[in-house]
Amino acid sequence: MRRPRLASDLDPVPGVAALALFGVLAAVILTAGFDAPAGFEAGASVMEGIGYALFDLADQSPLVTEGFLFAFLAIAVVLDAALDGALLLARREGGDES
Amino acid sequence: MTGIYDLVPAIALLPLVSFVVALFAGKYLPKKGALAGIAATGGSLVLSLLVALTVATSDGANAGYNETLYTFLEGSSSAPFSLELGVLVDPLSALMLVIVSLISFLVHVFSLGYMNDEGETGLPRYYAGLGLFSFSMLAFVFASNILMAFMFFELVGLCSYLLIGFWFREAGPPSAAKKAFLVTRFGDYFFLVGVVAIFATFGTGAFAGSESFPHLAEQALHGEHAVNTFLGLGEQAWFTVIGLLVLGGVMGKSAQFPLHTWLPDAMEGPTPVSALIHAATMVAAGVFLVARMYGFYALSPTALGVIAFVGGFTALFAATMGVVKQELKQVLAYSTISQYGYMMLALGGGGYVAAVFHLTTHAVFKALLFLGAGSVIIAMHHNENMWDMGGLKDRMPVTYWTFLAGSLALAGIFPFAGFWSKDEVLYETLIHGLGESPLLLGGYTMGLLAVAFTGFYTFRMVFLTFHGKPRTEVAEDPEPVRWNVKGPLVVLGVLATTLGAINMVPIKKLTGADIDYLHQFLDYGPEAFLTNVHHYGELLENPEFAGYGAADIGTTGLLVSAALSLGLALAGAGLAYRLYNVPEPVEHTDRLGRLKTLLMHNYYQDEFQVWLATGLTVPVAKAADTFDQSIIDGVVDGISTVSRFAGRGVRRIQTGVVRNYAALLTLGLVLLVAFFGVTGGWF
Amino acid sequence: MIETQWYLLLSAAVFSIGLFGILVRESALIYLMSVELMLNAANINFVAFSLQHGNLTGQVFALFGMALAAAEVAIGLGIILVLYRNFETIDVTVPTTMRW
């Protein structure tokens, strides 16, 4: 195995658009003035907060973590669907031309 | 007697009724519609005489009638004129009504002999055509505005087409009918443009009254009234243009050069039709129109000059062509063209009364000559060639003597009617020419020369037809004609002899007797109409307008002018007498050689007009067609081609490669953000 | 504390690198990797703003984003398999039938 080489057979011209986008975004970000970040309370642990929320003890933690619960449920469903879909796509023998 | 004016529309409507009767019920009637026509035109004649009597004997406002009968389009604010049908009765139209209805009546009676007795078929169509023509012509005469006049002008053209092409199963008549219609229509195109111009300029087309367009034109030239002019012309120049446009229609209808080519071919129609339409009435419509609008034409010396010159030229031009013709009706056709040239010369030369007088006498003697020719044609079994005739004077005395009276009138021999009228035409032109318009002298000279030719061809015709020995068997034993042919001939013969008495101006000037009845009659009419002779005279002499001055050549000048025209006529007649009043005349015109060929071919005018159509108009039409096909259609097709081509180019953006779409997306985003950033002041 | 704009700048840089990969590379697998980079850049952005505002919603969204990225990769790999079966290659410039 050779060591990885920089791909030289590619046409980098369309990449200029990406660089231009980076330039514009950087210009916008650097000239926008941000206030000081309002961080979280020192020592507050997100994991503990999620745990408390899971057991319906949300007021034990100073953080608002109920949102994570919905996220976990949705993620479970979506990943399950994605897995089934991938299996379906991969299984077709001979491939259909659609 | 004002009640009589309410009956004026009936003068035209009676022949219309006979038209309907002949068309629908003609085949059931014993004479196929002739009696209905005779009754209708007889009624019109009686009414016309009553109207003329009323005009002559009333005074003031009752001596005329100018009413609108029916408005078919009201004026609005954007088009402030209304289109209407109305009746105008003044001395000129009353006189013309009598002439038209008289000739029409006599022609209907004559047709009993020419058509019915000869066993012609299709007679209901013939009498229907005559009835429709009489209706149109009479309505044209009493039209109160120029649009109505135009409508009936066109109708008489249509009737002329129908009647010339009466024997449509032969080759000649339909072609002649088409030619007549097309040539007059060509002139009528300019007339229509003129009518529209009159409405656009003056807002009215009325002929008489203080709101009439001649009066408005006069006020405009005085600066008292504002009119619209077009093409950036001044007022007098624009009025001249209008006058010349209307003159186009006049020249077509009255067969003046160059639109005269239809009239000789129109002789293919039955002879009574030629007598009615192409001698006395329809061709008079053009001259009548100029006389009707004389208050307008008198404002423009250029238009009058053109009229006079065209008239004088046509008079001479047609007279030269009449000299070599072999057929009876052809000589009379060219004679008609020539005589209408005289009337136009008179109108252009400032002799309004002279023109109307010549119109009257010409209607009588030309109708007489045509009906006499019809009688001869019946006798000769429809052979018109004069070289096959001869010696008919002993065999057809009534025809001969009436024809001779008509010929003497035509040639202008004292004391027949034609002498007085033609002499007055030439006299008026002469004194106005010697006045301040020397150009009129050119027209006068041509008219004077034409007198000699007229005398020659008229008597050549008489001598070849009636004198000498009969040249064919038919001429030795002609078919007899009956009272329905001889009656009208006698009536017209008497009139041709005596009609000059209505306006014997030379005798008036010599003796001071007040016998210029026609002049006085035409001076009648309500002052408010502004259509009487002394008003025209004022307009003519006003230097702002025509500026015609009348030179005073005294009684000696008058006698010299009369002697000159009489002398030339007698000279022409005398030459014809010497050449043709022999037992066996020969075609002396052969001695003219190539000139005769030119004249026989009518100066190649017919070929010229055909060339104008095929050699000039067709290529222009083809070029226009090419322009339309390639350029206009090409532009329209080109627009669609451009969009299809552009579409085919633009769709190549959709390559199907996701990378390209992503690149375009990114590019667009970058540009948008940068744009909003710059204009929103983010940086 | 690192100031927020450096996080955002990092996010923009990673996003641009991913975009560069999409625009330039022709292998479908590298394409998927570039898309992953872009999604993760967006996640960094969310978390940075979550710190900025002191609100955990940003982190929830980032969690969503990561899960969805994973699901998308799963499906994407399946599609690449079908693509390979039909076109015999995973070069993204080859299948161009969905056009005019």
A24 near B CB under 8 A: yes
Q: Over 80: is that where the pLDDT of B232 sits?
A: no
pLDDT of residue B154: 92
Q: What is the pLDDT of residues B87-105, one digit of tens each?
A: 888 888 889 999 999 999 9
Question: Residue B397 in 3-state DSSP?
Answer: helix
Phi, psi (degrees; rounded to nearest 5) at B71: -100, 115
- Model ipTM value: 0.88
What is the helix (H) or strand (E) element at residue B70, kind and residue range?
strand B65-73
Q: Which residue of B has its CA nearest to A31?
A: B683
Q: Is residue C30 part of a domain?
A: yes
Do residues B369 and B331 touch, judged by C-beta distance below 8 A? no
Most B CBs within 10 A among C93, C94, C97, C98, hence the mutation to make, goes to C93
CATH number assigned to the domain comprising residue C60: 1.10.287.3510
Phi, psi (degrees; rounded to nearest 5) at B70: -155, 125
Buried b or exposed e, range B22-38, using 16+ CB within 10 angstroms: bbeebeebebbbbbbbb
Minimum distance, in Å, between the CA of residue A45 and any CA atom of chain C: 12
**Percentage of chain B modeled with pLDDT above 90:** 23
Q: Is residue C93 part of a domain?
A: no
Side-chain-side CA neighbours of residue A2 (13 Å): 3
Q: Which residue of C has its CA nearest to A40?
A: C54
Do residues B438 and B547 touch, judged by C-beta distance below 8 A? no
CA of residue B2 relative to chain centroid, distance: 31
Q: Do A28 and B677 touch (CB under 8 A)?
A: yes
Nearest to C68 among A25, A78, A83 (CB): A78
CA of residue B418 relative to chain centroid, distance: 20
CA of residue B97 relative to chain centroid, distance: 16
pLDDT of residue C7: 92
Which has more pLDDT, C5 or B65? C5
Q: Which two tokens stand for residue B538?
A: 């004022």
Q: Over 60: is that where the pLDDT of B239 sits?
A: yes
A67 near C CB under 8 A: yes
**Percentage of chain B modeled with pLDDT above 70:** 98
Do residues B379 and B271 touch, judged by C-beta distance below 8 A? no
Q: What is the pLDDT of residues C9-45, one digit of tens each?
A: 999 999 999 999 999 888 899 999 999 999 999 999 9
Considering chain B, what is the average pLDDT of its residues?
A: 85
pLDDT of residue B64: 72
Q: Over 70: is that where the pLDDT of B63 sits?
A: no
Nearest to C81 among A17, A37, A90 (CB): A90
C60 near A CB under 8 A: yes
The span from the CA of A75 to the CA of A64, in Å, is 19
pLDDT of residue C35: 94
Q: Is residue C14 part of a domain?
A: no
CA of residue B402 relative to chain centroid, distance: 26
pLDDT of residue A93: 59
Average pLDDT over residues B118-131: 86
Dihedral, CA of residue B464, residue B466, residue B470 and residue B473, to nearest 10: 110
Q: What is the pLDDT of residues B141-176, one digit of tens each?
A: 988 889 999 999 999 999 999 999 999 888 889 999
Q: What are the percentages of helix, strand and coil residues in chain B, rounded to 5? A: 75, 5, 20
The span from the CA of B325 to the CA of B343, in Å, is 23
Q: Over 50: is that where the pLDDT of B298 sits?
A: yes
* Confidence bin at B1 (pLDDT 50/70/90): very low
Domain count of chain C?
1
Q: Do B662 and C22 touch (CB under 8 A)?
A: yes
Average pLDDT over residues B313-333: 89
* Confidence bin at A24 (pLDDT 50/70/90): very high
Q: Do B659 and C22 touch (CB under 8 A)?
A: yes
CA of residue C2 relative to chain centroid, distance: 25
The span from the CA of B457 to the CA of B572, in Å, is 8
CA dist B245 to B153, B211, B233, B348, Å?
Answer: 15, 22, 15, 15
pLDDT of residue B134: 92
Nearest to C70 among A19, A79, A97 (CB): A79
Q: Do B670 and A28 touch (CB under 8 A)?
A: no
A30 near B CB under 8 A: no
pLDDT of residue C14: 96
B651 near C CB under 8 A: yes
pTM for this model (two decimals) = 0.74
Do residues C78 and A88 touch, judged by C-beta distance below 8 A? yes
Most A CBs within 10 A among B661, B673, B675, hence the mutation to make, goes to B673
Most C CBs within 10 A among A47, A68, A69, A78, hence the mutation to make, goes to A78
Most C CBs within 10 A among A13, A16, A25, A65, hence the mutation to make, goes to A25
Minimum distance, in Å, between the CA of residue A34 and any CA atom of chain C: 7
CA of residue B374 relative to chain centroid, distance: 23
pLDDT of residue B62: 66
Contacts of B243 (CB under 8 A, 6+ apart): B194, B293, B296, B297, B300, B303
The span from the CA of B489 to the CA of B402, in Å, is 6
Q: Which two tokens stand for residue B366?
A: 């030309």
Q: What is the pLDDT of residues A31-83, one digit of tens each?
A: 888 888 887 777 778 888 888 888 888 888 888 888 888 899 999 999 999 99
Categorise residue B228: left if φ over 0, alpha if ψ from -120 to 50, beta otherwise.
beta
Q: Which residue of A has its CA nearest to C65?
A: A75
Q: Is residue C17 part of a domain?
A: no
Nearest to B655 among C22, C24, C99 (CB): C99
B84: which strand partners?
B71
Average pLDDT over residues B647-655: 86
Among the listed residues B504, B506, B507, the one whose alpha carbon sits nearest the alpha carbon of residue B520: B504
Residues in chain B within 8 Å Cβ distance of C19: 662, 666
* Confidence bin at B506 (pLDDT 50/70/90): confident
Q: Is B488 exposed, middle or buried (0-12, 13-18, 19+ CB in 10 A)?
A: buried
Peptide bond into B258 cis (omega under 30): yes
Partner chains of A (3+ C-beta pairs under 8 Å): B, C
Q: Do B656 and C92 touch (CB under 8 A)?
A: no
Neighbours of B342 (CB within 10 A): 32
Neighbours of B534 (CB within 10 A): 11
Q: Is residue C16 part of a domain?
A: no
Q: Which residue of A has its CA nearest to C72?
A: A82
Buried b or exposed e, range B217-230, using 16+ CB within 10 angstroms: bbebbeeeeebebe
Q: Do A31 and B674 touch (CB under 8 A)?
A: no
The span from the CA of B673 to the CA of B453, in Å, is 100
Q: Do A22 and C16 touch (CB under 8 A)?
A: yes
Minimum distance, in Å, between the CA of residue B189 and any CA atom of chain C: 59
Neighbours of B295 (CB within 10 A): 23
A69 near C CB under 8 A: no
Q: Over 80: is that where the pLDDT of B394 sits?
A: yes
Phi, psi (degrees; rounded to nearest 5) at B670: -60, -45
Average pLDDT over residues B260-278: 88
- Amino acid identity of residue B643, one-letter, is S
The span from the CA of C9 to the CA of C16, in Å, is 10
The span from the CA of C63 to the CA of B460, in Å, is 127
Of the ranges B303-307, B386-390, B502-506, which one carries the lowest mean pLDDT score?
Answer: B502-506
* Confidence bin at B642 (pLDDT 50/70/90): very high
Q: Is residue C5 part of a domain?
A: no
Most B CBs within 10 A among A13, A19, A21, hence the mutation to make, goes to A21
Contacts of C12 (CB under 8 A, 6+ apart): A22, A25, A26, A29, C41
Q: What is the pLDDT of residues B181-210, one digit of tens each?
A: 988 888 999 999 999 988 888 888 888 877
Nearest to C96 among B651, B656, B663 (CB): B656
Q: Do A25 and B673 touch (CB under 8 A)?
A: yes
Nearest to A14 among C5, C24, C71 (CB): C24
Structural domain range at position C64: 26-87
The span from the CA of B90 to the CA of B142, in Å, is 9
Q: Which residue of A has its CA nearest to C9?
A: A26
Average pLDDT over residues B442-447: 88
C75 near A CB under 8 A: yes
What is the helix (H) or strand (E) element at residue B86, kind and residue range?
strand B83-89
